[in-house]
């Protein structure tokens, strides 16, 4: 015989909840028992926060709570009320990607990309606190984030490269600048101009 | 995962936490404390014995004091692992707990009060239904224990927290508070050999802090842990040893404690005392390691088979005591 295990209590009431998410004030109503990850994804709409295991193992759901990396899947939303929350969407500075976002693309730090938001957020906090981490410090900082694709070496390389950008004091490129060559390294093919004529639909 | 319904209370001081606990008790409402939530929330997500009310200690700042001999219940494990003002053995031990992300949330109080674990129990609801539940969460079916059947009412789920072993080896005292008052007891008397009740906390009672004896800094120690994946797994066996060397370089005090092997962590004081009296370096290390191995009784409810965990107890004890291989007994 199947028995229902959970006491069938009425859903907990909704309470006002406000926080600054990526520098935008959010004022909403949130259930008393809500988990921060669910609120960020389902109510605030910051879908960059990923749900991996939902159990504290993988680090995909990492966000910054007042600058400190925390697992949003294991945090009650109401404990984070009033805090400054940063998700991966909040890392870029206007049109300039955060250095770690840029070096993840140039150094292969991201493959399937599912773990990437978690890594980016955690590494941005590491670089904020320690702009020149050594290998052991990098590994210690990411030991709560799992990646099934990269084998971690490319991630460590990306952190080193980002650290170089930060310590040089330079900004990353403006992501909206037109690229001089969108396909670097591709052989150029000469195309006769009449071949490009647009044939209208019938 | 769908959270079970509960009402959250967020007191900002110890006094108001106690008031809320008292009020809930008066209304006969069950509740759980939540500290870092890294143990309670996964259990709630699996709908394991959730309660209608939860009192969060996150905003109670009085509980976060960290001094060499005073450790507040709400001290985060990562703070302990990186602090200069805590005993090196506790620093080493907390550094091995879970992963850095979990240590940023997880607390000392939550670690000491960690729920016991069992692979028939720490599972989703469907999974547990498929084995017809078990004593710890029987859903009113009167189910039997899946590890040792037809025994009695005892749940033998394993206590898999790390810090307790090292705190036992440092002779810590635990301090509790409830709406009725506060009390203190040696940490060794805090645990109860029952996978469901786990410890002596009464309804509405909580851990406020732990203290170490004044001479704690004269003690050195080591913690050795067996686990499946080094990055974050729970201990499958853990051995802490602490010792005191006198001015002549001889062994003047010794304590050995084990965790993750039974429903409670255990201080093996008699074995350590016996060994210390005639301490003879390597020989004593080996015989004490065998004695501790004989004293523990793991059951089959974690990832590694109990026979392997038991064998590893000898190895871990030897490793923890390795610095004493060339030390002699004090007269
Ligand atoms: C992936 C993963 C890996 C882990 N690995 C390890 C590991 O290697 N070693 C290890 O020891 N643990 C491990 N844990 C378990 C857990 O994260 C830690 O034990 C942590 O210290 C629990 O603390 P917390 O503050 O998060 O506890 P919570 O989840 O808040 O609470 C745990 C229990 O203690 C009670 N409680 C909390 N504080 C108090 C208090 N002050 N007074 C009375 N009761 C209280 C709660 O009611 C609850 O029953 C792991 C957890 C996960 C998810
Ligand atoms: S030891 Fe037995 S009663 Fe306890 S959780 Fe495991 S199966 Fe259930
Ligand atoms: S989703 Fe939070 S750690 Fe995996
Ligand atoms: S890039 Fe695929 S899991 Fe990390």
In terms of domains, do A138 and A81 share one? no
Domain count, chain A: 2
In terms of domains, do A120 and A147 share one? yes
In a domain, A129, yes or no: yes
- Rounded to whole angstroms, the Cα distance separating A187 from B268 reads 74
Domains in chain B, please, with CATH? 219-322 (3.30.390.50)
In a domain, A27, yes or no: yes
In terms of domains, do A73 and A21 share one? yes
| Segment B288-323, tens digit of pLDDT | 999 999 999 999 999 999 999 999 999 999 999 999
CATH of the domain at A134: 1.10.150.120
In a domain, A3, yes or no: no
In a domain, A33, yes or no: yes
In terms of domains, do A86 and A112 share one? no
Ligand 4, CB within 6 Å, residue ranges = A 110-116, 147-150
Selected for mutation to probe chain B from A57, A63, A66 (highest B CB count within 10 Å) is A57
Computed over every residue of chain A, the mean pLDDT equals 90
Cα–Cα nearest to B106, from B116, B120, B95: B95
In terms of domains, do A115 and A63 share one? no
In a domain, A6, yes or no: no
CATH of the domain at A26: 3.10.20.30
Query: Which atom from ligand 2 is nearest to the alpha carbon of B137?
Result: 8
In terms of domains, do A64 and A115 share one? no
Q: Name the helix (H) or strand (E) containing B173.
A: strand B173-178
In terms of domains, do A80 and A25 share one? yes
- Rounded to whole angstroms, the Cα distance separating B171 from B221 reads 12
| Segment B114-142, tens digit of pLDDT | 999 999 999 999 999 999 999 999 888 88
In terms of domains, do A104 and A124 share one? yes
Nearest residue of A to residue B81, measured between CA atoms: A140
In terms of domains, do A106 and A38 share one? no
| Segment B36-95, tens digit of pLDDT | 999 999 999 999 999 999 999 999 999 999 999 999 999 999 999 999 989 999 999 999
Single out the residue in A59, A90, A121 at which a domain terminates. A90
Pairing of strands B251-259, B219-226: unpaired
Tally A–B CB contacts below 8 A.
102
Interface ipTM above 0.90: yes
Single out the residue in A62, A90, A118 at which a domain terminates. A90
In terms of domains, do A20 and A77 share one? yes
In a domain, A104, yes or no: yes
Cα–Cα nearest to B57, from A102, A63, A79, A58: A79
In a domain, A197, yes or no: no
From residue B318, alpha-carbon distances to B195, B243, B253, B269, B310 in Å are 28, 14, 17, 16, 13
The structure's pTM equals 0.93
Q: Which domain holds residue A44?
A: 14-90
In terms of domains, do A68 and A124 share one? no
Selected for mutation to probe chain B from A2, A5, A73 (highest B CB count within 10 Å) is A5
């Amino acid at each position: 015989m199947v028995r229902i295990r959970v006491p069938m209590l009425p859903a907990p009431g909704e309470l006002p909840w406000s926080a600054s998410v990526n520098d935008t004030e959010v004022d909403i109503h949130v259930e008393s028992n809500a988990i921060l990850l669910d609120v960020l994804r389902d109510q605030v709409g910051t879908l960059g926060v990923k749900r991996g295991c939902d159990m504290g193992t993988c680090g995909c759901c990492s966000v910054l709570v007042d600058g400190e990396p925390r697992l949003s899947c294991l945090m009650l939303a109401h404990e984070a009320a009033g805090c400054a929350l940063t998700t991966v969407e909040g890392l870029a500075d206007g049109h300039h990607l955060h250095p770690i976002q840029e070096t993840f693309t140039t150094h292969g730090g991201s493959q399937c990309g599912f773990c990437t938001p978690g890594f980016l957020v955690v590494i941005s906090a590491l670089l904020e606190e320690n702009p020149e981490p050594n290998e052991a410090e990098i590994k210690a900082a990411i030991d709560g984030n799992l990646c099934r694709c990269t084998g971690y070496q490319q991630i460590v390389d990306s952190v080193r490269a980002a650290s170089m950008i930060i310590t040089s004091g330079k900004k990353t490129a403006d992501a909206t600048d037109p690229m001089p060559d969108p396909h670097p390294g591709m052989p150029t093919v000469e195309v006769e101009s009449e071949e490009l004529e647009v044939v209208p639909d019938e | 995962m769908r959270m079970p319904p509960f009402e959250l209370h967020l007191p900002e001081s110890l006094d108001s936490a106690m008031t809320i606990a008292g009020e809930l008790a008066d209304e006969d409402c069950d509740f759980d404390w939540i500290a870092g939530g890294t143990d309670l929330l996964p259990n709630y997500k699996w709908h394991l014995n959730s309660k209608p009310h939860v009192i969060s200690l996150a905003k109670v700042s009085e509980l976060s004091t960290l001094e060499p001999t005073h450790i507040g219940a709400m001290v985060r494990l990562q703070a302990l692992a990186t602090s200069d003002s805590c005993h090196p053995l506790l620093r080493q031990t907390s550094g091995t707990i879970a992963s850095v992300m979990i240590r940023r949330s997880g607390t000392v109080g939550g670690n000491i009060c960690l729920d016991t674990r069992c692979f028939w129990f720490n599972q989703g609801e469907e999974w547990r239904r498929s084995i017809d539940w078990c004593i710890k969460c029987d859903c009113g079916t009167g189910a039997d224990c899946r590890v040792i059947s037809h025994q009695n009412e005892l749940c033998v789920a394993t206590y898999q927290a790390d810090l307790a072993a090292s705190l036992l080896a440092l002779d810590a005292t635990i301090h509790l508070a409830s709406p009725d008052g506060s009390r203190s007891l040696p940490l060794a008397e805090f645990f109860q050999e029952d996978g469901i009740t786990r410890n002596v906390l009464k309804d509405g009672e909580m851990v406020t802090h732990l203290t170490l004896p004044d001479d704690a800094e004269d003690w050195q120690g080591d913690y050795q842990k067996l686990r499946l994946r080094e990055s974050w797994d729970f201990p499958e066996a853990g051995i802490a040893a602490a010792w005191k060397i006198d001015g002549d370089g001889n062994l003047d005090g010794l304590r050995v404690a084990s965790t993750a092997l039974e429903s409670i962590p255990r201080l093996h004081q008699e074995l350590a005392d016996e060994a210390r009296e005639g301490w003879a370096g390597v020989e004593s290390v080996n015989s004490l390691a065998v004695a501790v191995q004989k004293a523990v009784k793991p059951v089959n409810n974690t990832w590694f088979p109990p026979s392997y965990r038991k064998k590893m107890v000898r190895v871990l004890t030897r490793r923890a005591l390795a610095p004493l291989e060339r030390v002699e007994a004090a007269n």
